[in-house]
Amino acid sequence: MERKNAWLSYSEADEKELEETCASYRVFLNNGKTERECVDEIIRRAEEQGYRNLEEVIKSHEALTPGAKVYAAFMNKTIALYHLGEEALKEGLNILCAHIDSPRLDIKQNPLYEDTDLAYLDTHYYGGVKKYQWVALPMAIHGVVARKDGTVLKVCIGEDESDPIVYITDLLIHLSAKQLQKTGAEVVEGENLDILVGSRPLRDLPDDKKKEAVKENVLRIIKDKYGFEEEDFLSAELEIVPAGKARECGLDRSMIASYGQDDRVCACTSLMALLEMDETPKRTSCCLLVDKEEIGSVGATGMQSRFFENSLADLMDAAGQYSELNLRHVFCNSCMLSSDVSAGYDPFYSEAFEKKNSAYLGRGIVFNKFTGARGKSGSNDANAEYLAKVRRIMDDNGVFFQTAELGRVDFGGGGTIAYIAALYGMQVVDSGVSVLSMHAPWEITSKADVYEAKKAYKAFLKDA
C-alpha cells in the first residue's frame, strides 16, 4: 500500500495554486512567531473575509443565522472561528483543530545579569527541545511587556535587517573535548541557554553601579528605545525564537524551511480551508486553534480549558439554540480532524522508523489512527468506521493522503490534543503534515504536503 508522490500528479493549474498557498503560508509563519502574533494574523485574515467578533455580535443583541461568520479569541492566545451552517447546531460541527504554540525559549521574570563584562537574559526552554540545537544561531525577541499602568507594549527585536540580533554562545571546538564526551541531553544544559544581549559598558556611572556597567547600558537602551524598566520583566511574556524569514528549501524550491512549522503548518492550512469556504455549509464549520499543546495543553488557553465549550455556548445562544442538553449533543455529534505534524521519514535516521508505517515528504496529508508512546499511552485511538469515512472523503475529493505512526514502537512517542476532544464523545482522528527536524529551530516541510493539507481540510469541512 505504498502511497504515490503527489508531485507526479499536478497540472500547471495545480502547481500555480500550490505556490500561491505556500507563499501565503510563509507570510503566516513570518507574521506569527508567537501564539499572540498568530492570533493577530488570524483575526486580520478572518476579518478580511467577513468574520466578526462574536463578543461584539452578542453586545449588539444580533441573532445569528446560517451563513454567519464569527470568531471568539481568548487572552490573545487561542481562537475559534465559526461559519454557521444550515443544520441545527445540535446536529454537530465539522471541526479543524490545531495548535499555534511552538518550542522556544522563554525569558525568566528576573532575567538580566552581567558576568565578566557580558550582559545576558536568563531563559527557560518551553516544550521538548534538543538544547544543543539552539546555540550559535541568530535569535530574535518577540512578545509583550505589560506595565503597571495597564499599557501593553509589543516587542519584536531581531527580525528587521536594521535590528540587532541576540545570541546563545557555545564552547569552541578547541576546548570541547570533555563537552563532547557528554550525552546529547547534557552537551548544552538548560541553564546555559542564556541570551547574550550586550558587552558595552555605560560610562560615568556612580561607584556602586560601575561593577554592572554593561547591564546598566542594556537597561538604558531598554528604557529609551523600547519603553520599559527592569521591574517590568516581572509582567512580561518574551520569547526567544530563531531570527529570519521562512525560506524555500532545495534547489528545486520544493520545500519550506522555517521556525514554528510544528504546528503552524496545520493551523494555517486549516484557517485557509475555512476562509476559502464561500457557500453556507450544511453543517457548521469550525476552526479551533489553541495554545499550550507543547507543554500538555494546560492552562486557560490550552485545549484542556473550557474556552471552546464557552465560546460554543455563546454561539448557540446568539443563534437561539442554546440549552445544556443541546450543547452536549453538539460535542457528541461533531467530527474533528485534530491536526498536528508527523515525523517525516529521514533516511539518515532510518533506525528510528518502521518504513511501512512512516510519513514521507511529498506524499500528502498524514492520518495517525493513534499517537502516544510505547503501548499507545496517552493516545486517542480513532475507530475504524470513522477512518473509513475520512478515507472516502479524501478519495472522493482527489486528496493525496498517507497513514503513519510516529516511529518505531519502542523508540519513544508523543501525544496530541485528540484525546481531549475525544472526551466529549466526538469522532476525532489525528492528521497533519510530515516534518523533517521536528522541534529544531528550523524545520522542513514539503510544499506538496502543505497544499494537500489545505485540500484535505476543505474536503472535510464540506463532506464530513
443-446 and 335-339 beta bridge pairing: unpaired
How many helices and strands (H and E) does the chain possess?
A: 10, 22
**Banded model confidence at residue 386, pLDDT cuts 50, 70, 90:** very high
Which pLDDT tens digit goes with each residue over 233-250? 999 999 999 999 999 999
pLDDT of 331? 95
Is the pLDDT assigned to residue 58 strictly greater than 90?
yes
Residue 74 phi/psi, 5-degree rounding, is -140, 125
Q: Using CA of residue 154, residue 248, residue 441, residue 132, what is the dihedral sign?
A: negative
Residue 250 forms part of a structural domain = no
Is residue 209 pLDDT above 90, yes or no?
no
Residues 273 and 418 in one domain: yes
Q: What is the DSSP letter of 34?
A: S
Element (H, E) at 20: helix 12-31
Element (H, E) at 56: helix 54-59
139 plus 85 within the same structural domain: no
DSSP 61-122: TPPP-TT-EEEEEETTTEEEEEE--SS-GGG-EEEEEEE----EEEEEEEEEEEETTEEEEE
Q: Which of 217, 242, 267 is at the close of a domain?
A: 242
Q: Tell me the C-alpha distance between 222 and 236, whole Å.
A: 13
Say yes or no: 442 and 346 in one domain: yes
Residue 181 lies in a domain: yes
Decide if 251 is inside a domain.
no
For residues 297 and 396, give the distance between their C-alpha atoms in angstroms, rounded to a whole number.
34
- Nine-digit cell at 279? 457557500
**Structural domain count, the chain:** 2
Q: Among 265, 253, 281, 287, which Cα is nearest to 452's? A: 265
DSSP reduced 3-state for 276? coil
Q: Are residues 313 and 433 in the same domain?
A: yes
Asked if the structure places residue 155 within a domain, the reply is yes
Q: Does one domain contain both 43 and 109?
A: no
Whether the per-residue pLDDT at 412 is higher than 80: the answer is no
In one-letter notation, the amino acid at residue 219 is L
> Residue 1: inside a domain, yes or no?
no
Is the separation of the CB atoms in 239 and 195 below 8 Å?
Answer: no
Q: In this predicted structure, what is the pLDDT of residue 378? A: 77
CA distance 137 to 170: 10
Indicate if 10 and 80 belong to the same structural domain: yes
User: What is the pLDDT confidence band of residue 376, given thresholds at 50, 70 and 90?
Assistant: confident
Dihedral pair phi/psi, residue 121, rounded to 5°:
-110, 125
Q: What pLDDT score does 204 carry?
A: 85
**Is residue 54 domain-shared with residue 182, that is, in the same domain?**
no
The confidence score (pLDDT) of residue 208 equals 80
Statement to judge: residues 193 and 307 lie in one domain? no
Nearest of 190, 263, 292, 258 to residue 441 by alpha carbon: 258
Q: Is the pLDDT of residue 388 over 80?
A: yes
**Residue 417 pLDDT exceeds 90:** no
Q: What is the CATH number of the domain that holds 170?
A: 2.30.250.10
Q: In this model, does residue 372 exceed pLDDT 80?
A: no
How many Å apart are CA 56 and CA 220, to the nearest integer? Answer: 41
Query: Do 427 and 290 share a structural domain?
Result: yes
Helix axes 12-31, 447-463, angle to 10 degrees: 90
Does residue 125 contact residue 190 with C-beta atoms inside 8 Å? yes
Cell of 226: 523600547
- CA 269/CA 254 separation, integer angstroms: 17
Give me the residues paired with residue 447 across strands: none
Same structural domain, 266 and 313: yes
* Cα 6 from Cα 362, distance rounded (Å): 6
DSSP H helices, 319-383, are 324-333
Backbone phi, psi, residue 170, to 5°: -130, 160
pLDDT at residue 371, rounded to an integer:
81
Within-domain flag for 248: no
Cα–chain center distance at 207: 48
406 confidence band (pLDDT: 50, 70, 90):
confident
C-alpha cell at 417: 490534543
Question: Alpha-carbon distance 108 to 301, whole Å?
Answer: 20
Q: Which helix (H) or strand (E) holds 35?
A: helix 35-48
Predicted pLDDT of residue 381: 85
Q: How far is CA 30 from CA 38, 139, 391, in A?
A: 10, 14, 33
CA distance 445 to 453: 12
Q: What is the pLDDT of residues 15-41, one digit of tens each?
A: 999 999 999 999 999 999 999 999 999
State the cell numbers at 261: 512549522
C-alpha to C-alpha distance for 143 and 155, rounded to whole angstroms: 5
The least confident of 113-122, 270-279, 375-384 is: 375-384
Confidence of residue 379 (pLDDT cuts 50, 70, 90): confident
Residue 136 lies in a domain: yes
How many other C-beta atoms lie within 10 A of the C-beta of residue 4? 12
Question: Rounded CA gap, 54 and 118, in Å?
Answer: 49
Q: Indicate whether this model's pTM tops 0.85.
A: yes
Q: What is the pLDDT of residues 84-136, one digit of tens each?
A: 999 999 999 999 999 999 999 999 999 999 999 999 999 999 999 999 999 99
Residue 17 has a pLDDT of: 97
Q: Are residues 316 and 352 in the same domain?
A: yes
- Per-residue model confidence (pLDDT) at position 448: 98
Average pLDDT score, the chain: 95
Domain that holds residue 126: 104-242
Same domain, 347 and 387: yes
Q: Which residues pair with 196 in a beta bridge?
A: 120, 167
82 located within any domain: yes
Pairwise CA distance, residues 360 & 434, whole Å? 7
CATH number at residue 309: 3.40.630.10
